[in-house]
Amino acid sequence: MTPVVSSPPRTIRIGSRKSQLALVQTYWVQEQLKKSFPDITFEVHTMSTQGDKILDVALAKIGDKGLFTKELELGMLNREIDFAVHSLKDLPTQLPEGLTLAAITERENPADALVVHEKHKDKQIETLPEGAVIGTSSLRRLAQLRHRFPHFSFKDVRGNLITRLAKLDAGEYDALILAAAGLERLEMSDRIHQILPAEISLHAVGQGALGIECRADDSELISLLKAIEHPQTRDRCLAERAFLRDLEGGCQVPIGVNTEISSEQLTLTGIVASVDGQKLVKDTVVGEANNAEALGTQLAHLLREKGAQEILAEIFTVIGRGS
């Protein structure tokens, strides 16, 4: 009788950007998977992306398609790594052939946060002085804040979170607008001065969630990754991504969203704004959470009827489409 020889446990290689925040997020995913699958080895491999290397140019001028993901995706297609952990807001809605979004983890607070210079610690965003210099590298934030606060001065800010905060503390800015989730993951919640309400700033598509991308034909791995997926976050983010995809927008386009799920009902609000803040269209749809992507498409059509396509066309003419 032929003896049964069991295969050795698989070693799974996780791809991550080298930034501090990316590594914190990737090591968290590694730990969750180790808890569920203690017999499998999960190794972290780091890579630098185009967005990490170019720090002296505004993100919108570089081109946004795969700015923080392309190198990791090539690593998967070349079988150098098995899956990659992304901040979901950085992951394009159209993935390269052969790759798939395998899982979406439970979302942290997706809101934008105001971080102020010490001299403004008694202020909220509504009470900052005229001409206050606000740092942001996001066209989405810029457009919404210009719409609401045209009396502020806005200045691009690049670099990792530590670098940005150092520039703020050195007096180059009066305040920064950052993702609350990033500050929380780096245990810097004490720097959050104010969580911006949705009436002021709708957040980025996928903000606060992690997206795990892998090869579409690796069914064994996809099954493992589903163990750390959060169904409610998945439904919210799939609705948001469908909305963005249908409008042909990218990470660096002024498109903002807000989603909530209550009793299996998903509420999705979205905006499209011009970079100068002069034009802004907004609407909301409500429907079954298990029909998330159709809701996103429905909202995109509503905003298109209100003029979203014309606003986006103007933006693409000015900044060009990232390649």
> What is the 3 state secondary structure string of the chain?
CCCCCCCCCCEEEEEEECCHHHHHHHHHHHHHHHHHCCCCEEEEEEECCHHHHCCCCCHHHHCCCCCCCHHHHHHHHCCCCCEEEEEHHHCCCCCCCCEEEEEECCCCCCCEEEEECHHHCCCCHHHCCCCCEEECCCHHHHHHHHHHCCCCEEECCCCCHHHHHHHHHCCCCCEEEEEHHHHHHCCCHHHCCEECCCCCCCECCCCCCEEEEEECCCHHHHHHHHHHCCHHHHHHHHHHHHHHHHCCCCCCCCEEEEEEEECCEEEEEEEEECCCCCCEEEEEEEEEHHHHHHHHHHHHHHHHHCCHHHHHHHHHHHHCCCC
Q: Express each pLDDT in 23-69 by its tens digit.
A: 999 999 999 999 999 999 999 999 876 544 444 444 444 345 555 68
In a 13 Å sphere around the CA of 78, the CA atoms on its Cβ side amount to 8
Q: Express each pLDDT in 191-248 by its tens digit.
A: 999 999 999 999 999 999 999 999 999 999 999 999 999 999 999 999 999 999 999 7
Query: So which residues are the catalytic ones?
Result: 90
Q: How far is CA 233 from CA 56, 97, 158, in A?
A: 34, 25, 28
List CB contacts of 30: < 8 A, sequence separation 6 or more: 14, 42, 44
List CB contacts of 175: < 8 A, sequence separation 6 or more: 114, 115, 116, 117, 120, 125, 128, 132, 133, 134, 135, 168, 193
Q: Express each pLDDT in 153-172 by its tens digit.
A: 999 997 888 899 999 999 99
Q: Express each pLDDT in 124-148 by its tens digit.
A: 999 999 999 999 989 999 999 999 9
Q: Express each pLDDT in 186-205 by its tens digit.
A: 999 999 999 999 999 999 99
In a 13 Å sphere around the CA of 2, the CA atoms on its Cβ side amount to 3
- Mean pLDDT over 3-26 rounds to 83
What pLDDT sits at residue 319?
65
